[in-house]
Structure 1
Amino acid sequence: MHQKGGYLLVDGAQAVPHFKINVDDQDADFYAFSGHKMLGPSGIGVLYGKEDLLNRMDPIQYGGEMINVVDLYESSWGEIPLKFEAGTPNIVGAIGLSASVDYLKNIGMNEISAREDALVQKAIEKLKEINGLEIYGPKNPEKHHSLISFNLKNIHPHDLASVLDLQGIEVRAGDHCAQPLMNFLGINGTVRASFAFYNDQDDIDSLIEAIKGAKSFFANGL
């Protein structure tokens, strides 16, 4: 991309809560992630940008603190990051996001990744034992990180998710903001089970039993 004169903006919202991220290693021009994905408050996030690019960019919002000099016919912006912080910032959100970052760092991102990978691998082993269940993605469980997408044969993912919800199992169903991929796979969506460091073997067992119960539920007259 850089060789063609383009810029790389990485949507890291799904990665930051699970992995140790180094934007220099990725050579990302911009890297964005949200607070609520990492146990923080909603309505706030982070946009990292390379200093040179940020210095060359103009702000799109105007207000207090982002101006250096104002005249009747021209103005100049403050230094970064001030020129992108018009008006009163989300102070409470920033404090909450900072606390969530500290919380995850104190646990250790490597420890979080290792625990989640172990949970996902155990879950995949159990899911493979259910007839008619198809798992999407790499065949090697070690290449799945923090989540599993799957379908039960002849059951719409929304229907399966609804039945799981009735049993206290929270999953997401649909196209997951990836309609081109769903079209390529020839499916109308998937069910996605996501894992975090606070999950355990009991959660896996509950998921498996709920799926088996849903399979029986749909096979008996719905």
Structure 2
Amino acid sequence: MDYVWKENWLNKLPPYKGGGEMIDQVTFEKTTYAGLPHKFEAGTPNICGVIAFGAALDYMNAIGFEAIATYENELLEYATEKLLAIGDVTIYGTGDKTAVISFNIENIHPYDIGTIVDKLGIAVRTGHHCAQPIMDFYKIPGTVRASFSFYNTKEEIDVFIEAIKKAKMMLS
């Protein structure tokens, strides 16, 4: 019953975008749209993206998801140890997790750290990370967040750590 009600409303709504695959008939007098759900799916489907996603899955399956998780955890432990050795660093969220570190350096705004590290060629994210209630809980303006993946190396983490050290020195 609920499905019929929703379907009736969807049929009454006009498409919000125009493009291929959503048209039934076009004349100089009027356009009619395809039935649901096609009238809301403007444009050509992302076929290349689907093919690339399949290739990525094949690649990851060849490596093995367990091997990837083990290596990423090794990178996380390595980065955590190196980051804490800098001093005045607080890491948020140290339980079982993916290879992501959110941190702050005492008395330095995370955005300032992120800006300098970015200029040094290291990609990090700063801000609330769509989790402002957590930032409010910790009474912090945000964090610097670094993510590691199976294609990263310990040498890259060393470069990241040196960039953090340089930013800390510049801002202290």
TM-score by length of 1: 0.59
Q: Does 1:153 align with 2:109?
A: no
Deviation at 1:197, TM superposition (A): 0.3
How far, CA to CA, are the matches of 1:185 and 1:214 in structure 2? 23
Once residues 88 and 211 of structure 1 are traced to their aligned partners in structure 2, the CA distance between those partners, rounded to angstroms, is: 44
Q: Deviations over 1:13-66 (max 9, x none)?
A: xxxxxxxxxxxxxxxxxxxxxxxxxxxxxxxxxxxxxxxxx9xx757869858x
1:138-159 Cα deviation digits (max 9, x unpaired): 2x5xx23210000011111111
SS at match of 1:117: helix
Runs of 4 or more above 3 Å deviation: 57-65, 75-78, 82-88
List alignment gaps of at least 5 residues for structure 1: 1-53, 68-74
1:129 counterpart SS class: helix
Alpha-carbon distance between aligned partners in 2 of 1:160 and 1:106, rounded to the nearest angstrom:
37
Deviation at 1:77, TM superposition (A): 5.5
What amino acid maps onto 2:57 in structure 1?
V
* Aligned partner of 1:191 among 136, 144, 151: 144
* Alpha-carbon separation, structure 2, partners of 1:90 and 1:211: 39
Structure 2: which 5+ runs fail to align? 25-33
1:179 aligns with 2:132: yes
Partner of 1:119 in structure 2? Answer: 75
Larger Rg: 2
The CA distance in 2 between the partners of 1:88 and 1:212, in whole Å, is 48
Over aligned residues, Cα RMSD in angstroms?
A: 2.9
Q: Is the 1:161–1:171 contact (alpha carbons within 8 Å) kept by the matching residues of 2?
A: yes
1:178-201: CA deviations, max 9, x gaps? 112111111110000100001111
Deviation at 1:110, TM superposition (A): 1.1
- Considering fraction of residues, name the structure with more helix: 2
For the 8 Å contact 1:135–1:150, the answer to whether it is kept is yes
In 1: Cα distance, 2:87 partner to 2:120 partner: 20
Fraction of identical pairs, as percent: 47
**TM-score normalised per structure 2:** 0.74
**How far off is 1:98 after superposition?**
2.1
Aligned length: 152
Alignment match, 1:167: 120
Give the counterpart of 2:161 among 199, 204, 208.
208
Q: Higher relative contact order by CA 8 Å / sep ≥ 6: 1 or 2?
A: 2
Alpha-carbon separation, structure 1, partners of 2:146 and 2:129: 12
How big is the shift at 1:111? Answer: 1.2
Rounded Cα–Cα distance in structure 2 between residues aligned with 1:77 and 1:171: 42
